[in-house]
Amino acid sequence: MLAMFEIDANNLPIVRTRQALLVLDLQNDIVSDGSLLQVDTPPGFLENIINLVPHFRSSNPVLWIRSAFVSSRPVNSLQGESEKVVTDRELPDKQRQYTHSEGSRRGRSRSSLEGSARSRESTGSRVERRDALEVTDDEGADPINETFLTVEPGCAPQILSQESAGSKLTDVVLESVDINKDLFFEKSHYSAFKDGKLVQILRSHFVTEIYICGALSNISIFATAMDAARHGYAITIISDCLGYKSQARHDEAMHQLTQFTGCDMIESQELIHHFQRKARAKPTPPSSRNSRPQPRPRPKNSSLENLMSNLNIAANSSTNSGQSTEPGVVGESSRSSEPQKETHEIPVREPVKRERVQAKVKVRRRNPEPVSGDVTKISNPNNQGKQ
C-alpha cells in the first residue's frame, strides 16, 4: 500500500522559466547586398530585428543561428529524414498563378526561359526538364533556389560553405551582437531543432517560450517553428522581422504555421513597448511560496530560567497549601502564602486557588508548666534543655 504524504506548497522550489529570441540566417550569402540569394523583402525587416535585439536582451537570451552546408538535405519528401518547407509545389493553384504573374513583373518571362533552355540544348549542355507548374518565372528569376541546403548528387553547394566568408553574419548584424551575453548556434539543416542540440541549450537556460525572426520565412523559419512545436515550445513569430523572396510563399507558410502549431504573431514595436513597460515597472516582492515559514517571535522575558522559576513557584505554592500547619511555624506559613509578583509575560496556567479556612490548632503540651508568651522558645527544642 502506498503511503500518502501531504505536500506543503510553501516548501516547493520555484523555477522561473525564460523566453528566448531566435534570429535565423542573417548571413552574407543570404541578406548582404549583391549576394546570390539576397533576401531584402520586405524593406526594413533587418533594421527591425536590430532595433528589437537590445530590448529583448535586457531580460532574456538572444540566440544567433547560422546555417552551414554539410550534406544535401531533402525537403517535402515522405522518405528519409526529409524536412518540411514551403516552395511553389506547396502553393494552391491560385497562388501558383499569382507567383507566375509576380515573376513576369520582375523581368523574366516564360518565353525567355524556354529560349535559353533551347540554346543550351543546342550547345549540348545538360538541361533538367521539369513540369511547367513546378518552374515559375519567379523561381527562375533567382540565381539559386531558396532551398539552399539541397543540391543534386555530385554537385557542390553554391552558398554557405563551412568556414567561408558567406556563412558569417553580415556586418550590420555583427554591430548589434553582444559576445558576452548572446548565444551562437550553427545548424546544417533547415530546422535549428533537427539534431537536438538546440533543445539542450534552451533547457540549460530554462527557456520554454521562443520568439522567431530572420530569413527565410518559408524555409528556415517555417522548418524551425514546426519542429519547435513538436518539442512543446510556445512559439511567437515576429511578423515584421521576417525576410522572404515571394509574398505568396510567405503567406502560405504563415497560414500553415498558425494552423498546425497555433503560434502567435506580434510586431516588433509592440514587443519593444512590452519590454519598456516591464523595465519601468517596480520590482514586485518575492512570492510567498518562495519564502520559507519563519518561526514565531518569542515573547519578552521568555527565557528558560524565567519559565522554570515560574513553574517552581507554582509547585511550591500548591505544596505548601496541602501541608498541615505545625505549631511554632505559623508566622513563616503566613509569609510564604503571600502572592508572588510575576516577572514575565508568558501566559502560565495558574494553580487553582483553594480557600484556606483558619482552624484552631490544638497544641499538645508536654510540660504541665505554664507556657510563656515567647513562641519562639517553644518552637526551639534546644531552649527547653537550657531551661
Q: What's the pLDDT at 92? A: 83
CB 102 within 8 A of CB 135: no
pLDDT category, 95, cuts 50, 70, 90? low
DSSP state, 41? Answer: B
Residue 366 has pLDDT above 60, yes or no: no
Q: What's the pLDDT at 156? A: 87
Q: What's the pLDDT at 296? A: 53
Return the number of other C-beta atoms located less than 10 Å from residue 142's C-beta.
Answer: 16
Residue 195 has pLDDT above 60, yes or no: yes
Q: What's the pLDDT at 17? A: 86
Q: What integer is the mean pLDDT of 168-174?
A: 95
pLDDT category, 279, cuts 50, 70, 90? confident
Print burial letters for 333-366: b (CB count within 10 Å at least 16), e (below 16).
eeeeeeeeeeebeeeeeeeeeeeeeeeeeeeeee
pLDDT category, 251, cuts 50, 70, 90? very high
The three-class DSSP label of residue 27 is strand
Q: What's the pLDDT at 119? A: 35
Cα–Cα dist 220/84, whole Å: 10
Cis check for the bond before 42: say yes or no (omega within 30 of 0). yes
Positive or negative torsion for Cα 281, 287, 292, 296: positive
Which of the residue ranges 97-111, 137-151, 302-316 would you say has the lowest mean pLDDT? Answer: 97-111
pLDDT category, 67, cuts 50, 70, 90? very high
Residue-range domains of the chain with CATH: 15-87+146-280 (3.40.50.850), 92-143 (no CATH)
Residue 40 has pLDDT above 80, yes or no: yes
Cα–Cα dist 68/269, whole Å: 31
Closest CA to 96 of 302, 248, 253: 248
Selected residue with higher pLDDT from 126 and 224: 224
Q: What's the pLDDT at 278? A: 87
Residue 226 has pLDDT above 70, yes or no: yes
Residue 72 has pLDDT above 80, yes or no: yes
CA 70 to chain centroid, in Å, comes to 33
The string of DSSP codes covering 227-287 is: HHHHTT-EEEEEEEEEEBS-HHHHHHHHHHHHHHT--EEE-HHHHHHHHHHHHHSPPPPPP
Selected residue with higher pLDDT from 361 and 257: 257
Return the number of other C-beta atoms located less than 10 Å from residue 173's C-beta.
Answer: 21
Print burial letters for 54-83: b (CB count within 10 Å at least 16), e (below 16).
ebbbeebbbbbbbbbbeeebebeeeeeeeb
What residues pair up with 21 in beta bridges, in sequence order? 62, 211
Residue 113 has pLDDT above 80, yes or no: no
Q: What's the pLDDT at 242? A: 98
Which of the residue ranges 226-230, 242-246, 270-274, 279-283 would you say has the lowest mean pLDDT? Answer: 279-283
DSSP state, 300? Answer: T
Selected residue with higher pLDDT from 347 and 140: 347
**For the chain, first and last CA: distance in Å?**
86
What residues contact residue 130 under an 8 Å CB cut-off, 6+ apart?
Answer: none
Q: Which three cell numbers stand for residue 369?
A: 508548666
Residue 131 has pLDDT above 50, yes or no: no
Q: What's the pLDDT at 64? A: 98
Strand pairing class (234-243; 207-215): parallel
The pTM of the whole model exceeds 0.75? no
Residue 19 has pLDDT above 60, yes or no: yes
Q: What integer is the mean pLDDT of 64-76?
A: 95
Burial class (CB in 10 A: 0-12, 13-18, 19+), 247: middle
pLDDT over 70 for what percent of the chain?
Answer: 56
pLDDT category, 281, cuts 50, 70, 90? confident
* pLDDT tens-digit series, residues 300-358: 555 666 666 666 665 555 555 554 444 444 444 444 444 444 445 555 555 555 555 45
Which of the residue ranges 38-42, 60-64, 142-146, 380-384 would you say has the lowest mean pLDDT? Answer: 380-384
Q: How many residues does the chain have?
A: 387
Which of the residue ranges 30-39, 187-196, 311-320, 358-367 would you say has the lowest mean pLDDT? Answer: 358-367
Q: Which three cell numbers stand for residue 168?
A: 558569417
